[in-house]
Chain A
Amino acid sequence: AATSLSPGRVAAPPPMAAAATGTGGQTLGRSSFSRAASSKTASSSSSPTASGVKLGPNGAAFVSSGIPDLDRILDGGFLLGSVVMVMEDSDAPHHLLLLRAFMAQGVVHKQPLLFAAPMKEPRSFLGALPAPVASSKEDARQRAMGGGAAGDGRASDEGLRIAWQYRKYFGDERNSNAEHRDNKQEFSHDFDLRKPLERHLLNAQHIECLSTQDVDTLHDLQNRSSAFLSKHQRKEGGNLSAGRIAIQSLCAPQCGYFGKDWDMVSFLRSLKAMVRSSNAVAIITFPYTVLSDSFCKRWQHLADTLLSIKAIPDEDKDLAKLLTGYQDMVGFLHVHKVAQTNSQVPTQVPVILEASTFSLKLRKRR
């Protein structure tokens, strides 16, 4: 039997709240650091367009990162026209979790995708894209009631959750979100990392793949990006269709152009300019430790949104004492910069977050 809770109020959870509340696909309430201006982005108030694009004030448009928690942390999602950069941890491939969610979200929303990676066959990576968590009436009822274990014996599935260290309270947002969950065209989905995205979705999509391994210049990637972005030019009052560019490990040693520091940063600069005038978002992960400090800083300055991932060592007794829910954590996500959301292009006011370090947890849900 599921636990019944009155709508809008939830029993105080332990600090790692993700573990306490959940049935699949549930959002955990509004952020405790919502800024004065943030009422605009409450997903209950703006219904997403069919193409998976959410509009914000001043002409800002967002697409989901594929991780609802991350969308909330970034106060909306990934801003169209911006470049997201993710500093990888060389000890762990967690950046791939972000990429998979990002790409899968785009496929689900039928948004064209350009994917580049230092692999012989980047297209094979598409097989690793996760399927959205299946939404059922039973789930919806459970969510509206606020929690408890699913009694239907569904096989457990895994999803990526991002939780804060010091979550303070939940809010009413959860209920209105529950209603929207049944809407097929919702803005963001939870993804089940154990289930691959259905093949037919991948075949029907406009997905371009490009290998950066063994190519000794970035010209091809630049040309392909340019061609891709020219199909997503921003138009005044035009129909908002979004594109996604995902580049994995841009400066990895396997890349043929590895070591050509100025070429790489030059490519980034030109990509940023192209993305800026488009309805697309580009996410670029990079193993920053192979770059010199100086170039690493150049890359960081070029990012509109800058994230970094740090693996959490297993069996670290000190950390286990310090962090609740340590066993479930796979890594830390640190937010260094956020593309500004108050206008179509970033403004000068920096976003100061109450908490800028978050934990990544793979959650098993029943």
Chain B
Amino acid sequence: PPPQLEAEMEEYGAGDLLSEAMCAGARVVVVEDCVEAPAAFVLHLLLKRALAAGGGGGGGAALLALAQPFSHYDRVLRKMGCNLSMHRKSERLHFFDLQGFPGGTQGGAIADSLAQLYSAVQRVVETCRAGENAGRFTVMIDDVSLLEVAANGSADDVLDFLHYCVTLTSEMNCSLVVLIHEDIYSSEDGVGLLAHLRYIADLVIKAAPLSTGLATDVHGQLSVVNKGMLIEQRPAKGQKVWSFHFKVKENGADFFYPGSRH
């Protein structure tokens, strides 16, 4: 592969199919999954890469965690060779424990709580950008479906919040990675949260089970769709859609084309 691509591969870690498929520079990444094929592992991988000190300025990340407590991510990422506790101490990682969000006053409007949350995230991003740290910053949300529950079903408020986060990506050279459970929305009529997210995404990574059912060596299939033409980057190998299999391991994941697993 050309040196430029190699360097990017280096930056994103491994030279695996997922990094190849994810063209550099994607600002808004939407990860979709379902009960049969959960994709939290993709978030974990992307978080690890976001925090990896590549070259000069290391990365930074803010994790808005509704699904699990810090100890869970710490445990999981540790097995992947990434020390979240250390990153948190050094303020490379900003962890927002949102298990109880919005919490407190039930009567308070969710819009206010979301606005406060956004301000907090914005502050964190600004602080990181202001420092000598010129590396990529990633805002990650695990997950949007739970954010909708926290908002008591008000998808509009959640969308407003997400749109604000998207503005951060263009103004502050950071990227947004969100996880959403696609199967929750597939039976709905009308244009819901999922459709909106797919629309604003630069990159959509979707995990699905194999049509043939369970298998010990293959946990599912991943499809990666590069939606937009990205600024300053050549189109990623001219390929818009990637599709391959994955197997989740304790220390990461393997990605491979069907039938090519040894």
Contacts and interface: CB of A to CB of B under 8 A. Distances in A.
A347 B149 contact: no
Contacts of A262: 149, 152-153
A269 B184 contact: no
Contacts of B79: 347
Interface of A: 58, 261-262, 265-266, 269-270, 273, 276-277, 292-294, 297-298, 300-301, 306, 336-337, 342-350, 352-354, 356
29 contacts: A58-B75, A266-B150, A269-B149, A269-B150, A270-B100, A273-B99, A273-B100, A276-B68, A293-B187, A294-B185, A294-B188, A297-B183, A297-B184, A297-B187, A298-B145, A300-B35, A337-B35, A344-B75, A345-B71, A345-B75, A346-B68, A348-B250, A349-B250, A350-B248, A352-B214, A352-B215, A352-B216, A352-B219, A354-B216
Nearest to A342: B250
Tell me which of B146, B150, B215 has the highest count of chain A C-beta atoms within 10 A of its own C-beta: B146
A337 B219 CA distance: 13
Contacts, number: 80
B38 A276 contact: no
A307 B184 CA distance: 18
B99 A292 contact: no
Nearest to A292: B187
A306 B75 contact: no
B152 A349 contact: no
Please provide the 3 A-B residue pairs with the shortest distance between their CB atoms, ordered closest to farther: A293-B187, A273-B99, A345-B72
Contacts of B255: none
Contact of B44 (A294, A342, A348): A348
Nearest to B69: A276
Contacts of A297: 34-35, 181, 183-184, 187
B248 A294 contact: no
B181 A301 contact: yes
B71 A344 contact: yes
Nearest to B40: A348
Contact of A350 (B38, B71, B72, B150): B38
Nearest to B66: A269
B96 interface: no
A277 B40 contact: no
Nearest to B151: A262
Given A297-B181, A348-B44, A356 B250 contact: no
A186 B187 CA distance: 46
Nearest to B74: A345
Nearest to A293: B187
Contacts of A266: 149-150, 152
A98 to B, nearest CB: 20
Interface of B: 34-36, 38, 40-41, 44, 68-69, 71-72, 75-76, 79, 99-100, 145-146, 149-150, 152-153, 181, 183-185, 187-188, 214-216, 219, 248-250
Contact of B41 (A269, A348, A353, A356): A348
A348 B152 contact: no
Given A273-B100, A301-B35, A356-B214, A343 B75 contact: yes
Nearest to B250: A349
A273 B71 CA distance: 13
Contacts of A352: 214-216, 219
Contacts of A343: 75
Nearest to B187: A293
Contacts of B38: 350
Contact of A294 (B35, B41, B187, B250): B187
Contacts of A349: 41, 248-250
A269 B69 contact: no
B250 A345 contact: no
A284 to B, nearest CB: 16
Nearest to A347: B76
A344 B70 CA distance: 12
A345 B100 contact: no
Given A298-B181, A352-B214, 10 more contacts: A58-B75, A261-B153, A277-B69, A292-B187, A301-B184, A336-B35, A348-B41, A349-B41, A349-B250, A352-B219
B35 A306 contact: yes
Contacts of B36: 336
Nearest to B36: A336
Nearest to B215: A352
Contacts of A269: 146, 149-150
A302 to B, nearest CB: 8
A58 B79 CA distance: 12
A277 B152 CA distance: 23
Contacts of B185: 294
A261 B68 CA distance: 22
Contacts of B71: 344-345
Contact of B250 (A265, A292, A347): A347
A336 B44 CA distance: 22
Contacts of A346: 68, 72
A266 B101 CA distance: 11
A348 B248 contact: yes
Contacts of B76: 347-348
A348 B40 CA distance: 7
A52 B219 CA distance: 34
Contacts of B35: 297, 300-301, 306, 336-337
A233 B100 CA distance: 16
A264 B79 CA distance: 35
A53 to B, nearest CB: 19
Nearest to B97: A273
A294 to B, nearest CB: 5
Contacts of A353: 214
